[in-house]
Structure 1
Amino acid sequence: MSAQVIEGRMTAAAEDGVVVFLIGMRINKFRSPRDWWPVMRAMPRMLKELTEDPAGGLIGARFLVGGARLAYLVQYWESREKLLAYAAAPDRGHRPAWAAFNRRARAGGAGVGFWHETYLVPAGSYETVYVNMPEFGLGAATGVIPVGRRGDRAADRLAVKKSPAA
């Protein structure tokens, strides 16, 4: 992702549906790093694995911090099927990390909380605008185009439907 500001009003170049996956952790007990440190270390390894495999379905991710205790990722995926395939693949990083987390949680490791939310967003059901910003969010995942190509108002951009194949 480039930090170069793109002047003007832009919108994400995405045309198809997208899966938005939010995943994060909350440090409940700072003095229990044995609970939260493995969780903190697992995500960068999985992101590296996913970014090295473009066919895997992850099209973009952004790490965010919410105060001193909360860290999370906003991820954009090509499809629900690719997200679920990654989560279930026995030869990928997610399964062993999830199994280890569950073992620690069952053993009383409440020093860390974990959460995720998944949203399936069909084409035509999302709208974006970025004004004098570097590529960000869905625009960083799919590239950006001038707003005028999709309509100057949010209502116009939400009304745009993917054109049928010729």
Structure 2
Amino acid sequence: MFTKPIPGRTTAAREGDAVVLLIGMRINHFWAVHQWLPVMLSMFRMLRELARDPGRGLLGRILLTASPRTYYVVQYWESKEKLYAYASSPEMLHHGMWSTVNRKEREGKLRQHVGLWHETYVAPEGAYESIYFDMPEFGMGAASGVLPLERRGRYAKDRFAYRSADSSAP
């Protein structure tokens, strides 16, 4: 679906800490479809599960590819606590999928066919900023909404200095 750009300059409306999770996989052996395809499909299932329950804390996501072998998702979360709660909840797909991955690794069935990785970043308010120029809502802006750039400052240093009214930051 084509999304129309928002004219001018905007910035993400996020207030408070920004929690960003990069999570992905690398296909090490294309011929081992029976090993990597279930991993790929499980990510889509988890994203659908999270979309059905916004209270879990996933604010937005972007699906990307770095190469024909490497696929990943950039996820924006309300808090690291909600991210941890989802990842460790026995009722959620992630918990079962990770158990399966661990079991297959112990049995030597997953090793070297598919690589898995994630990186998590928590950026405190005042340690991140954004600018979008003639762009539709994208990235953190899609996850939190956007507002006119002037509301947070024309320059990056001003946007870094922004603190929400309920912020306890000095």
* TM tier, smaller: over 0.9
Cα offsets for 1:36-56 (capped at 9, x unmatched): 111101011111110111111
Take 1:49 and 1:67, find their aligned partners in 2: how far apart are those partners? 26
| DSSP 3-state at the match of 1:113 | strand
Match of 2:74 in 1: 74
CA RMSD of aligned residues (A): 1.4
- How far does residue 107 in structure 1 lie from its aligned partner after superposition? 2.7
Take 2:125 and 2:44, find their aligned partners in 1: how far apart are those partners? 29
Aligned pair partner of 1:113 in 112, 115, 118: 115
Whether 2:30 is the aligned partner of 1:47: answer: no
Take 1:85 and 1:32, find their aligned partners in 2: how far apart are those partners? 32
Take 1:38 and 1:16, find their aligned partners in 2: how far apart are those partners? 36
Q: Could you tell me the TM-score, scaled by structure 1's length?
A: 0.95
Take 1:9 and 1:20, find their aligned partners in 2: how far apart are those partners? 23
Q: Could you tell me the TM-score, scaled by structure 2's length?
A: 0.92
- How far does residue 7 in structure 1 lie from its aligned partner after superposition? 1.0
Return closer, same or farther for 1:149/1:23 CA change in 2, 3 Å cut-off: same
Take 2:68 and 2:44, find their aligned partners in 1: how far apart are those partners? 19
Alignment-mate amino acid for residue 112 of structure 1: V
Match of 2:127 in 1: 125
Match of 1:22 in 2: 22
Match of 2:150 in 1: 148
Match of 2:31 in 1: 31
Cα offsets for 1:9-39 (capped at 9, x unmatched): 0000111112101100000000111221111
* Paired residue total: 165
Take 1:13 and 1:120, find their aligned partners in 2: how far apart are those partners? 17
| DSSP 3-state at the match of 1:25 | strand
- How far does residue 164 in structure 1 lie from its aligned partner after superposition? 4.4
Alignment-mate amino acid for residue 100 of structure 1: T
Whether the 8 Å CA contact 1:35–1:104 is kept in 2: the answer is no
- How far does residue 101 in structure 1 lie from its aligned partner after superposition? 1.5
Query: Identity of aligned pairs, percent?
Result: 52
Whether the 8 Å CA contact 1:57–1:77 is kept in 2: the answer is yes
